[in-house]
Amino acid sequence: NFYQVHWHSPSENTINGVSYALEAHFVHQLDDPALHGTLHRLAVIGLLYELGTDSECNPTLDQFWNQFPLDKGVAQFTDAQFDFNAKLNDELAHGYYHWYGSLTTPPCTQGVSWNLLKRKEKVCQRQLDRLKQALTRTQNGIDFNNRVIQPLHHRVVTENTATSAQQRQANVETEASSAVSCGVKGGLAATAAAILARP
């Protein structure tokens, strides 16, 4: 079940060494209380954003972020017009990278199923500036909230393509696959998070 979405800037994952301006994490969790605290209870779908021109501002980000005050790091939103499940299903069909890693914010829970979408979206500088302004107001002047890239530690990243069920190892460095313990420096909690409640 969909639990919450939050954004990190710059991205916490790289593809072939390339970093991106922004990354969204759509966090899902199993509702079964018997599974709480067990491995593989959490799944994250990551969406990367490339920096676009002023005319390439992301309408979904504008529509969504404008609902939240800049000085509040976490907010609940229940508007049914944001159907993230349909959007994510469509994006997953175009291919993604998969691995098991950890959450990127403390306590950096292990055993998370990561799915990084291959298709990217655009974000404009105005939108990045809005996020940085919100981060600065809620993080004592710090305008970023990404965890630094961590080594893979022999974990396997598979590439799931849109045209084939065949999987192959991909040259993807990813922060979330780290077996290194999570620290606060460079791993600040995502303060521009929006927790969405399903009615």
Average pLDDT over residues 157-169: 67
pTM above 0.75, yes or no: yes
pLDDT at res. 199: 30
Higher pLDDT, 198 or 103: 103
51's enclosing H/E stretch is strand 42-51
Q: How confident is the model at residue 101 (pLDDT cuts 50, 70, 90)?
A: very high
Over 70: is that where the pLDDT of 160 sits?
Answer: yes
Domain total in the chain = 1
The residue segments making up the domain with residue 17 are 2-196
Which of 190, 195, 199, 198 minimizes the C-alpha distance to 75? 195
Query: Both ends of the chain: CA-CA distance in Å?
Result: 12
Q: C-alpha dihedral over 164, 165, 169, 175, to 10 degrees?
A: 100
CATH at residue 102? 3.10.200.10
Over 70: is that where the pLDDT of 37 sits?
Answer: no
